[in-house]
A and B are shown apart, each in its own frame.
Chain A
Amino acid sequence: MTQTTFGFITAVLAAAVEAGTPILYAALGEILTERAGILNLSVEGTMLVGAVSGFLATVATGNLAAGILGAAIAGGIIAAIHAFLSVTLKVNQVVSGLSLSMFATGVSGYLGKPIIGVAAPVSFKSIPIPGLSKIPVLGPMFFNHNLLVYGSYVLVAFLWYFVYKTRPGLHMRSVGESPRTADSLGINVSFVQYTYTIIGGALSGIAGAYLSLAYAPSWIEQMTAGRGWIAIALVIFAVWNPLRAMIGAYLFGGIEALGFRIQVVGATISPIVLKMMPYIFTIAVLIITTARSASYKNEAPQALGVPYERE
């Protein structure tokens, strides 16, 4: 292998993690929401609201932490609307999620009008981890990134543990599997569903802020470019498992990154085709995952999207 191809692969892998992280945050949020039995399709719009809110908060305060907090709160508010509609009013969750996504997209455009073209006063910069970042391939891939990327590692590990090894995690899963059972054992179904829907929305908000404060520090309308939808597809690919979501997110990120780099290297594939890659890949992945149905069917929360009513 020549030095240049080696360098190329390393660069693509590093870019895969960087591009996969926003999808990962959003997918982790959606995993929690769906594990509690609520299907929230508003991720795309919620990410946009998160992106614009995070950017606005950072411009106002000059503080990145304030930006992340603002994004999380804004995402949580959008998700709270979805929770109210689907848990309390028991409307069709697909309809609610889709219309909220459109609504939130509109809101983000409105809020973002004054800041189009404004440069972010601060943004998340790469902080190489001493020692680890020097490991060939793995170093640049995992240990030369910004704080939000490192945060996602911790979050994946924590959520995996939370989902499978803790009581609140067990209770959350039981609500998504069989709310009737959970209810009969004194678990407050509505409370659980509200909680994880809102947390899921907050994570989508953070995913959006990653785009506007780290990935491409600025506000551009529709800057999520379908990543919210990819995140929803990724949840199915990951069979609702945070660890598999991480792998999947980097796979999607890699394809996005590859598209860029191939153009830079000067390959003769149409850039339009390259830009289509992540979306075509999403469709392919969904078909393959759902076709080898056994594990997908058994892992899917059995009560996903079904409003719970006591007989």
Chain B
Amino acid sequence: MPQEDGNIVEMHGITKRFPGVLANENVTFCVRSGEIHALLGENGAGKSTLMNILSGLYKPDEGEIFVKGKRIQIGSPRHAIEAGIGMVHQHFRLVENFSVAENITLGMSTPRFLLDMAAIEDEVLALSKEYGLQLDPKAQIWQLSVGEQQRVEIVKMLYRRADVLILDEPTAVLTPQETRELFATLERMKETGRSIIFITHKLEEVMQVADRVTVLRAGRVAATADKTDVTSRQLASLMVGKEYSPTLPGKTALETAPVLTLSDVTAYGDRGTVALDGVSLEVKAGEILGIAGVAGNGQRELTEVITGLRKTTSGTISLLGQDITNRTPLEVINSGVSFVPEDRYGTGMAPNLSLVDNVILKSYRTRIMCKGPFINYDAARRQTQGLVEQFQVKCAGIYSRARLLSGGNAQKLLLGREISSDPKLLIAAYPTRGLDIGAAEAIRSILINQRNQGIAILLISEDLEELMRLSDRIAIMYEGKIMGTLDRDEWDIERIGLLMAGVRDVQHEEALT
């Protein structure tokens, strides 16, 4: 039964079980009309599950949902849309080969048969202007930046007249400036009486934009409060469940020669468009070079040309003075490059093989792993056992399948494998993405330890705070170009953000504003 006037959505006693996991347990969650309500929690706390229930993707095992005072069953996304609930997923639900307008009209029931695209494009344009969300309705999705794609998602929900908009980790893929624009849009939508549910694990964002906050921990509600009644420190301990103080090993200063040098490297992306456009950079021994940038600006291609997975069309790549341009992955590995790819389970591991097999995927050729033509499984077992202990990988035994590892444990094992080959250069792409705070910190301290031992590290991340904590220098990528490389004393979040958005002349920009 609805409890309170002014609540547009009420979820009572929601419980959702997945095989072996209790994702939500007796969760009660209410949203008022015209508020921005943050749903805060660590990865795996059950935020997305709860919102997938509200948007009709999952059915709850127990509990009731009221929208605008009426109890409803949300059996499918269509029901949710009809009830005025729209969700912008973390991984956008857009058809890449369709235009903006086609994506926005997709799934609507009118017009029934013939599509007058010109009329739909006009409507989309009008709506996007009304909310200050600039869009070209004719553009194809794959041509758009991630920030623009997010705008398409939001306009899509406005077009469906959604009163309740759910945003799942919307800022993870944005530059700081785009984040500010998003927050301004959310304010504007709030003024028109809409409610916004904002899923996040970032405390600053809650303090910045939310009116109220609900904290989830391990599938249960830890607290619901007005923002003005809580401090970010209180929220942090509610979220983690204990006092939390981050510690990272200290850094030792090292001044050394370059390990990796890229000069003027150009390469095409999967679509045949230029993905790397004259990239030059240098990583020295014992330093972490951070690569900042919105995902999709050439970071993946950068890792691929270095590791030999993608051909360059011009420019040279050298490792310790030795030319490794367009060598095969095996030659690159043998010359001392280790790689923690962004797609952990796809590129980094064979998920259906055991931990042991995964650990020796690269080293099975080496003398110690061989017994004549056969694999020396004793050595393989010893090495796996060693890595599991050293990096505290929690697993159901070293012969269990790698897919059964949680994200954090899989990443620790992968990183361990890559380090154990004594590389000269370590490339780590989004190494902490999707990990909970504890695991992410463990990964970060491994990286710093490696740096302190003199390994050159190329670190790609979307998390600017992480980059600023770990990196010695930060290079910013935009549309396949290096916009600039900043030292510790030169960077601040504003400056990095502008470069991420493609604004090269920072001084000029500051003079204008």
Q: Which residues of A contact B (CB under 8 A)?
A: 165-168, 170-171, 173-174, 177-178, 180-187, 294, 297-299, 302, 310-311
Q: Does B331 contact A (CB under 8 A)?
A: no
Whether the pair A168, B113 counts as a contact (CB closer than 8 A) is yes
Whether the pair B106, A182 counts as a contact (CB closer than 8 A) is yes
Q: Closest CB-CB distance, B191 to chain A, in whole Å?
A: 27
Q: How large is the interface on B (under 10, 10 to 19, 20 to 34, 35 or more residues)?
A: 20 to 34
Whether the pair B113, A177 counts as a contact (CB closer than 8 A) is no
Q: Does B87 contact A (CB under 8 A)?
A: yes
Contacts of A171 in B (CB 8 A): 106-107
Whether the pair A166, B96 counts as a contact (CB closer than 8 A) is no
Closest residue of A by beta carbon distance from B81: A186
Whether the pair A167, B112 counts as a contact (CB closer than 8 A) is yes
In the docked arrangement, what's the CA distance between A174 and B111, Å? 17
Q: Pick out which of these stretches binds chain A: B97-105, B192-200, B461-469, B473-481.
A: B97-105
What string of 1s and 0s marks CB contacts (under 8 Å) between B113-142 and chain A?
Answer: 111000000000000000000000000000
Q: Does B238 contact A (CB under 8 A)?
A: no
Known pairs A167-B108, A180-B93, A185-B77 / 6 extra A-B pairs, C-beta < 8 Å: A174-B106, A177-B97, A181-B94, A184-B89, A185-B93, A294-B272
Whether the pair A302, B106 counts as a contact (CB closer than 8 A) is no
Known A174-B106, A177-B96: A167·B115 in contact at CB below 8 Å: yes
Whether the pair B107, A187 counts as a contact (CB closer than 8 A) is yes
Q: Does B271 contact A (CB under 8 A)?
A: yes
Kindly name the residue among B87, B102, B113 whose own CB sees the greatest number of chain A CB atoms within 10 A: B113
Whether the pair B106, A165 counts as a contact (CB closer than 8 A) is no
Whether the pair B106, A170 counts as a contact (CB closer than 8 A) is yes
Whether the pair A187, B271 counts as a contact (CB closer than 8 A) is no
Main SS class of interface, A: helix
Q: Does B442 contact A (CB under 8 A)?
A: no
Closest residue of A by beta carbon distance from B80: A186
Contacts of A297 in B (CB 8 A): 270-271
Q: Closest CB-CB distance, B210 to chain A, in whole Å?
A: 25
Whether the pair B102, A184 counts as a contact (CB closer than 8 A) is no
Whether the pair B97, A170 counts as a contact (CB closer than 8 A) is no
Q: Closest CB-CB distance, B47 to chain A, in whole Å?
A: 15
Whether the pair B81, A174 counts as a contact (CB closer than 8 A) is no
Contacts of A186 in B (CB 8 A): 76-78, 81, 107
Contacts of A168 in B (CB 8 A): 113
Contacts of B270 in A (CB 8 A): 297
Known A165-B115, A166-B114, A168-B113: A184·B95 in contact at CB below 8 Å: no
Kindly name the residue among A165, A166, A171, A185 whose own CB sees the greatest number of chain B CB atoms within 10 A: A185
In the docked arrangement, what's the CA distance between A302 and B95, Å? 9
Closest residue of B by beta carbon distance from A169: B115
In the docked arrangement, what's the CA distance between A185 and B112, Å? 15
Contacts of B106 in A (CB 8 A): 170-171, 174, 181-182, 185, 187
Q: Which of B95, B112, B114, B272 contacts A174 (CB 8 A)?
A: B95
Whether the pair A167, B113 counts as a contact (CB closer than 8 A) is yes
9 A-B pairs with least C-beta separation: A185-B107, A186-B78, A181-B93, A184-B93, A177-B95, A178-B95, A186-B77, A294-B272, A186-B107
